[in-house]
Amino acid sequence: MDLIEAATRVRENAHAPYSGFKVGAALRADGGAVHVGCNVENIAYPEGTCAEAGAIAAMIAAGDTRIEEVAVIADSPSPVPPCGGCRQKLAEFAAPDVRVTMATTRGGRQTLTVRDLLPGAFGADHMDG
């Protein structure tokens, strides 16, 4: 399954009545399963959920634990990267070289790795003591 296509489809389900900025995310787990998520806003803005976080939660709920590839799409003039918190969430479940493709509904694309998005990521090796 094409991840951009899956992210595009789930983006339509986003709950974004306040900003109108719908985001869809899709990820492929190491077993090949595709998990999707969309942003879910709340009138109390900090209580919303990002699309990437939703896709990760769906992956974990399904029993998968490793991300092999990610796609994020939004209606924006340029590809929208994951927020800082989602970059850390991606780093929790993806190797540093996992590709993250960011796309626009107008056809723009940019692909970076998790390492590119979050250099110097905090990881489990920082907790060894």
Residue among 54, 3, 53 at smallest CA distance from 28? 3
Q: Is 18 annotated as a binding residue?
A: no
13 labelled ligand-binding = no
Q: Is 4 annotated as a binding residue?
A: no
The answer on whether 38 is annotated among ligand-binding residues is: no
The amino acid sitting at 40 is V
**Is 68 designated active site?**
no
Q: Which of the residues 5, 12, 47, 52 is marked catalytic?
A: 52
42 marked as binding residue: yes
Helix (H, G, I), strand (E, B) or coil at 59: helix
* Residue 27 phi, psi (nearest 5): -135, 150
Known binding-site residues equal 39-45, 50, 83, 86
Catalytic positions, please? 52
Known binding-site residues for substrate equal 39-45
